[in-house]
């Protein structure tokens, strides 16, 4: 169970924090990891995308692998399908479409989503 984050803010309804679990929690964790550069989070130095992602010498295949590695490190994720990564070096913007198999409440579920990082 985790706190729900919407547009970068903790979600509050009627004065109470909103909690999420299961597939929604895993999808939120993937989004969080893709928005971090590894080493940025004091609580988990491994969380996030390797900083090499932003290097101009990295090709698209290597970028996709770095994204897949960050997603694979998400608790509950069992399998990562090859992600689609669109990278705009001039704008320093990345759009990732992903699909994973995850273990949710002892069942395997498919979770898909898209994350934009600017």
Residue located via tokens 């579920």: 109
Q: What is the pLDDT of residues 66-110, one digit of tens each?
A: 999 999 999 999 999 999 999 888 888 999 999 999 999 889 999
Predicted confidence (pLDDT) at residue 20 exceeds the cutoff of 70: yes
Predicted confidence (pLDDT) at residue 47 exceeds the cutoff of 80: no
What is the per-residue pLDDT for 54?
Answer: 84
Half-sphere exposure of 47 (CA within 13 A, CB side): 15
What is the per-residue pLDDT for 41?
Answer: 67
Contact assessment for residue 96 and residue 75, using Cβ atoms and an 8 Å cutoff: no
What is the per-residue pLDDT for 45?
Answer: 64
Q: Which residues, at least 6 apart from 70, have a Cβ–Cβ distance to it below 8 Å?
A: 33, 34, 38, 47, 48, 49, 50
CATH number of 2-117: 3.10.450
What is the per-residue pLDDT for 38?
Answer: 74
């Amino acid at each position: 169970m985790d706190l729900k984050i919407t547009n970068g803010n903790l979600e509050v309804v009627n004065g109470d924090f909103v909690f999420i679990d299961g597939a929604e929690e895993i999808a939120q964790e993937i989004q969080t990891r893709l928005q971090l550069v590894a080493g940025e989070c004091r609580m988990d130095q491994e969380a996030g995308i390797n900083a090499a992602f932003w290097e101009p010498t990295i090709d698209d295949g290597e970028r996709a692998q770095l994204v897949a590695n960050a997603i694979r490190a998400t608790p509950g994720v069992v399998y990562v399908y090859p992600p689609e990564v669109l990278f705009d070096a001039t704008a320093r913007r990345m759009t990732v479409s992903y699909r994973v198999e995850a273990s949710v409440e002892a069942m395997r579920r498919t979770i898909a989503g898209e994350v934009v990082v600017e």
